[in-house]
C-alpha cells in the first residue's frame, strides 16, 4: 500500500551529540530520510555543532530553519529531534514559535540524563582529567566534523556535558518549559503557542535473552553497559536516557523495545525483530499530516 506522509510543512531531522548528516555513504538517520521521502515528505537534516550546549545548537538550528523556509517557501517546519537534538528543537520552537509547526522528541533527555550526571561527578571541574577528556572528545568531534563537512564551530565537549546533566537541563527547562509534564512520568501540553509537542522513546529489555538477535548488536551491548550507571530509572532507560526523562507533550509511547541508537535506525538495528524504528518515523509523519501539519 502506498504510504502518504506528505506533511504540510517540511520535516527537519535534528541530530544529537556527535551527530552528523552523512560520512561517505553512511547517513546518521539510516534509511529514515529516504523512507520519509518515499512516502511524500520533504525532509532536511541540518548541520549543528556535534558537541555544544543546547542554546548554541538551537541558535544554529534557527538559522537553518530560516534557510529551509526560504528554499521551500513554506510557512513553518516540523522538527524531529533525536537525543540532544530534541533540546535544540525545543529551544527553536520557544524562540520562534511562528516558524515551527511541531516539535517531536525522540529519546530526548528532556529532564536530563543520569549518565551525564555520573560523568559530571567523575570529572572534577578544572582538574586535569576533565581537561584531558574535553580535549580528546572535542578533537574526536572535530574529526567527525571534517569527515562530514560540518562547518559549524566551535565545538566543546564540556559545554555539551554540562547541558545534558539533570541540573543543566533543569536550568534550560526553567527558561523553555513548553510541552513539559507537570508531574514526573506524565504528559505535557500537546500544544503551546501554536506549536504541537510529541515524544517517543524506548527502553532496554530487562533480560538480554529477550533481545533475540539484537543481543548480537555491539551498539546494544554498548547501551546496556551504560545503563548500569542509572539509579532513578535503573530498569527504565535506553542506555543513555531514562524513560520518564524523555516525556514531552503528547507521549506516543516511551517503552518501545529499542535502545538509544535503535531509535535512529542504525544499520545494526536490522538484527532487531519486532518494532521497526524507521516505520515509527513514517507513522509519525502521517500523524503530522493528519493533524494538518
Q: Are 270 and 27 in contact (CB under 8 A)?
A: no
Q: Which of 102, 260, 262, 284 is catalytic?
A: 260
Distant-in-sequence, close-in-space partners of 250: CB < 8 Å, separation ≥ 6: 187, 188, 190, 196, 197, 198, 199
C-alpha cell of residue 110: 528532556
Q: Which of 238, 246, 259, 262 is catalytic?
A: 238
Alpha helices in the chain (DSSP H): 32-38, 54-72, 84-95, 114-122, 128-148, 157-164, 166-175, 218-226, 277-290
Among this protein's residues, is 83 annotated catalytic?
yes
Q: Are 74 and 9 in contact (CB under 8 A)?
A: yes
Q: Which of 49, 52, 83, 196 is catalytic?
A: 83
Q: 154: cis peptide before it, omega within 30°?
A: yes
- Report, as residue numbers or ranges, the catalytic residues: 83, 238, 260
Amino acid at each position: 500500500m502506498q504510504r502518504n506522509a506528505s506533511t504540510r510543512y517540511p520535516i527537519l531531522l535534528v541530530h544529537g551529540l556527535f551527530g552528523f548528516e552523512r560520512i561517505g555513504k553512511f547517513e546518521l538517520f539510516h534509511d529514515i530520510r529516504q523512507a520519509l521521502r518515499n512516502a511524500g515528505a520533504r525532509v532536511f537534516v541540518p548541520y549543528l555543532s556535534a558537541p555544544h550546549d543546547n542554546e548554541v545548537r538551537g541558535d544554529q538550528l534557527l538559522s537553518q530553519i530560516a534557510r529551509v523556509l526560504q528554499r521551500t517557501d513554506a510557512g513553518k517546519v516540523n522538527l524531529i529531534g533525536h537525543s540532544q537534538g530534541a533540546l535544540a528543537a525545543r529551544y527553536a520552537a520557544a524562540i520562534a514559535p511562528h516558524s515551527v509547526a511541531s516539535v517531536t522528541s525522540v529519546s530526548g533527555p528532556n529532564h536530563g540524563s543520569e549518565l551525564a550526571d555520573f560523568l559530571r561527578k567523575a570529572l572534577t571541574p578544572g582538574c586535569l582529567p576533565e581537561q584531558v577528556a574535553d580535549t580528546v572528545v572535542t578533537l574526536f568531534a572535530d574529526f567527525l566534523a571534517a569527515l562530514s563537512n560540518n562547518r559549524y564551530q566551535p565545538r566543546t565537549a564540556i559545554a555539551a556535558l554540562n547541558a545534558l546533566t539533570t541540573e543543566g537541563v533543569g536550568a534550560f527547562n526553567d527558561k523553555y518549559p513548553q510541552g513539559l509534564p507537570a508531574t514526573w512520568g506524565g504528559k505535557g501540553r500537546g500544544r503551546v503557542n501554536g506549536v504541537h509537542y510529541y515524544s517517543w522513546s524506548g527502553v532496554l529489555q530487562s533480560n538480554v535473552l529477550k533481545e533475540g538477535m539484537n543481543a548480537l548488536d555491539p551498539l546494544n551491548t554498548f547501551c546496556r553497559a551504560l545503563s548500569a550507571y542509572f539509579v532513578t530509572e535503573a530498569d527504565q532507560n535506553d542506555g543513555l536516557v531514562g524513560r520518564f526523562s524523555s516525556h514531552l507533550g503528547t507521549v506516543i509511547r516511551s517503552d518501545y523495545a529499542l535502545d538509544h541508537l535503535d531509535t535512529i535506525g542504525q544499520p545494526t538495528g536490522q538484527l532487531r525483530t519486532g518494532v521497526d524504528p524507521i516505520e515509527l518515523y513514517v507513522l509519525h509523519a502521517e500523524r503530522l499530516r493528519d493533524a494538518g501539519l
